[in-house]
């Protein structure tokens, strides 16, 4: 039987509590992984491994967190994503909410794309 | 002193499991540094022993072509002390591996009795992102010296050789 969004969220929440050592109440849908939950870059690999195990899915490298696009210097000028870069980023992350990011698409704002909601959206699409 | 914290492998099942032992000797200086009146194996070095056991298992799975670095200790619990004359056993199991890295689970035994668990995430450093953060391009983990040492453990250095 397909999992409901609430069930997916609860499992993602447990995963992040275990991976990052944070309290359950801190893991809201809007929380950003790095700024709110204190994740470091290396935690992303751990999170991917744990999500794969928790949901019995395979997450190809760069699909959930497309670091090859995020870190591609060709898509950035003076600290801002170019129109092409932004377009590539949106294509690579259909599971992310770009509403806030698009207002100021700078490198510094990238962490706002990596939220708990982004993960829940990704898993929901993956399990659909 | 050499940075070698396992004495030998007693089991090696490529891409699955490795079991290594370390005999704790009173002659080792580090045993006397933590609590001078009570020599014991520092917990941090027990973690290192597991990291070496699991790291070699991970490296071997990709024929030592990847630059394998310890990324994160997911869990480390050691419930008892280890003193001179005792033997540590590290049982590492490869849980998952892909291009980005690997995760392992591990049990620590003292004279055959379970005393702890150490789970680790390893990263495979890719050339492009490694260069961005100043990581050398060559394989600084599995060097020629390391491969020579590995042969003395009787672990074949190619998964295809097994």
Chain B residue whose CA is closest to A21: B74
Is the CB of A45 less than 8 angstroms away from the CB of B121?
A: yes
Nearest to A45 among B95, B100, B132 (CB): B100
Q: Residue B157 pLDDT more than 70? A: no
- Residues of B in Cβ contact (< 8 Å) with A49: 95-96, 101, 103, 121
What is the predicted ipTM? 0.75
Three-state DSSP at B73 gives strand
Q: What percent of chain B has pLDDT over 90?
A: 63
Mean pLDDT of chain B, nearest integer: 88
pLDDT band at B148 (very low <50, low <70, confident <90, very high): confident
How far apart CA A85 and CA B22 sit, in angstroms, is 52
Over chain A (128 residues), what is each successive 10-residue block's mean pLDDT? Answer: 91 96 96 95 92 94 87 88 93 93 92 95 95
The total number of structural domains that make up chain A: 1
Q: Residue B42 pLDDT more than 60? A: yes
A56 touches chain B (CB under 8 A): no
Phi, psi of B70 (to 5 degrees): -70, 120
Three-state DSSP at A61 gives coil
Tell me, what's the pLDDT at B160? Answer: 42
A63 touches chain B (CB under 8 A): no
pLDDT band at B81 (very low <50, low <70, confident <90, very high): very high
pLDDT band at B3 (very low <50, low <70, confident <90, very high): confident
Q: Residue B75 pLDDT more than 50? A: yes
pLDDT digits over B104-123, tens only? Answer: 999 999 999 999 999 999 99
Burial class of residue B96, CB neighbours in 10 A (0-12, 13-18, 19+) = middle
Q: The CATH number of the domain where A115 resides is what?
A: 1.10.1200.10
Where do the structural domains in chain B lie, given as residue ranges?
Answer: 8-148
From residue A105, give the alpha-carbon distance in Å to each of A83, B41, B62.
Answer: 9, 51, 39
Is the CB of A46 less than 8 angstroms away from the CB of B100?
A: no
Q: Residue B162 pLDDT more than 50? A: no
May I ask the CATH architecture of the domain B8-148?
Roll (3.10)
Q: Residue B134 pLDDT more than 90? A: no
pLDDT band at B1 (very low <50, low <70, confident <90, very high): low
Min distance B121 CA to chain A CA atoms (Å): 7
A74 touches chain B (CB under 8 A): no
Domain of A102, in residue numbers: 5-127
């Amino acid at each position: 039987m397909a999992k409901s969004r609430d069930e997916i969220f609860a499992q993602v929440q447990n995963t992040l509590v275990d991976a990052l050592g944070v309290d359950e109440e801190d893991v809201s849908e809007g929380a950003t992984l790095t700024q709110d939950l204190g994740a470091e870059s290396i935690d992303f690999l751990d999170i991917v491994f744990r999500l794969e195990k928790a949901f019995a899915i395979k997450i190809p490298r760069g699909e959930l967190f497309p670091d090859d696009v995020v870190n591609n210097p060709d898509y950035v000028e003076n600290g801002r994503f170019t129109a092409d870069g932004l377009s590539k980023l949106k294509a690579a992350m259909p599971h992310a909410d770009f509403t806030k990011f698009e207002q100021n698409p700078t490198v510094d704002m990238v962490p706002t794309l990596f939220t708990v909601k982004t993960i829940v959206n990704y898993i929901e699409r993956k399990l659909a | 002193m050499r940075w070698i914290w396992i004495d030998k492998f007693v089991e090696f099942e490529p891409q699955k499991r490795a079991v290594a032992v370390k005999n704790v000797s009173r002659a080792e200086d580090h045993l006397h540094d933590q609590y001078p009146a009570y020599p014991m194996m520092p917990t941090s070095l027990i973690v290192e022993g597991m990291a070496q056991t699991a790291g070699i298992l991970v490296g071997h799975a990709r024929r030592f072509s990847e630059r394998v670095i310890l990324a994160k200790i997911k869990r480390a619990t050691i419930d008892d002390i280890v003193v001179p004359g005792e033997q540590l056993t590290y049982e590492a199991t490869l849980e998952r591996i892909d291009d980005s890295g690997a995760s392992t689970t591990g049990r620590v035994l003292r004279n055959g009795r379970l005393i702890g668990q150490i789970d680790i995430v390893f990263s495979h450093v890719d050339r492009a992102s490694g260069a961005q953060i100043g990581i050398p391009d060559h394989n600084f983990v599995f060097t020629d010296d390391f491969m020579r040492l590995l042969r003395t453990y009787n672990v074949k250095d190619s998964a295809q050789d097994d």
